[in-house]
Amino acid sequence: MTATDVDATADDDYDPFDLFNRANGAGTVENPYPDFVAMRRDTPVAELDLREMFGLSDDEAPENAVWTLNTFDAVQAALRDGEGFSSKGYEEIMGAVFGHSILEMDEPEHHTYRGLIQQAFTRKAMERWENDVIGPVVHSLIDGFVGEGRADLVRGLTFPFPFDVIADQLVLPEDDRPRFHRMATELISVQVDMERALKASADLHAYFSTIIAERRAAPAQDLISVLAGAELDGQQLTDDEIIAFLRLLLSAGAETTYRSSSNLLFGLLTWPLSGTTARCCPRPSRRPCAGSRRC
């Protein structure tokens, strides 16, 4: 089964990336950080209307008032109060498209589920992925534009990079990957297009159900095989729990990771370290640190 099999009616004129970006302020909010500074100073806890904040019409997004915590103390207090600030608030919308995922789990369920999931992310696995997956993906993407002498580093590097890494970890067929990237973005665009999000969720469930059955019968070294075989105190992950995690993982690559890495790269290129500004290495040494004049 391929992505084409589970979604033969894809609308090529529909751009979920553009829709999601506009729903999150692209083209409207150029620099939110002064507003964040003001909120931390004036309103440790604030109620916001996302439509008003991002300049969206009633047709572009449903009414969605949210409370935000804007200071370290407020966030810390909420995270330490699992009863007063339960993660189950994600069930109504995000649970409908991701399934019962770690997003909506409180203790002790969260601890048990995390213990099973983290078996796929051991130090040994991270080292193997760095050498066998992450490095080759980065080099391949750079090779695609280095000859031009210039590039849109978001479109050419930070946007495809996390998804390509995840796709390699899941051993997704090369021909299926563009559609999977699109479905991942459709999942997190649930606030502006619930119908498409539910369709993408069902398509991914059908696809991954087949893959999980194959990996349970013949385990390999890929991420899905490890999740299918994970066990903690006699408990294993069900197919639905694995699929919920995979939906969440794909979406993280499609949105959160690429945005944070893009911001990081922008910061490094805007304020590069130099020989006169680099700080000394934190470890004691008599030798000069790389990139600095002296310690």
Residues 191, 188: Cα–Cα separation, whole Å:
8
Q: Per residue in 81-112, pLDDT tens? A: 888 888 887 777 778 888 888 888 888 888 89
What is the reported pLDDT for 64? 61
Residues 200, 211: Cα–Cα separation, whole Å:
17
- Is residue 186 within 8 Å of 200, Cβ to Cβ? yes
Q: Which residue has the tokens 């990237």?
A: 181
Dihedral angle over CA of 157, 163, 166, 170, nearest 10: -130
Q: Per residue in 122-141, pLDDT tens? A: 888 888 888 888 999 999 99
* Residue in 48, 26, 23 with CA at minimum distance from that of residue 35: 48
Q: Give the chain's domains with CATH numbers.
A: 3-24+88-269 (1.10.630.10), 31-85 (no CATH)
pLDDT band at residue 53, thresholds of 50, 70 and 90?
A: low
Q: Find the range with the poorest average confidence among 88-92, 96-100, 207-211, 269-273.
A: 88-92
Q: Per residue in 166-205, pLDDT tens? A: 888 888 888 888 888 888 888 877 767 788 888 989 999 9
* Residue in 116, 113, 115 with CA at minimum distance from that of residue 229: 116
Mean pLDDT of the chain: 79
Residue 242: Cβ within 10 Å count: 25
Taking residues 16-28, report their average pLDDT. Answer: 65
Q: Is 49 helix (H, G, I), strand (E, B) or coil?
A: strand
- Is residue 62 within 8 Å of 191, Cβ to Cβ? yes
DSSP-derived secondary structure for 214-247: HHHHS--SSHHHHHHH-EETTEE--HHHHHHHHH
6-22: burial string, b at 16+ Cβ within 10 Å, e else: bbeeeeeeeebbebbbb
| Spatial CB neighbours of 128, under 8 Å, sequence gap ≥ 6 | none
| Spatial CB neighbours of 267, under 8 Å, sequence gap ≥ 6 | none
Q: Find the range with the poorest average confidence among 19-23, 104-108, 155-159, 216-220.
A: 19-23
Residues above pLDDT 90, as percent of the chain:
17
The helix (run of H) or strand (run of E) holding residue 232 is strand 231-232
Residue 176 falls in which region: left (phi positive, over 0), alpha (psi -120 to 50) or beta: alpha
Q: What number of CA atoms fall less than 13 Å from residue 245's CA on the CB side?
A: 22
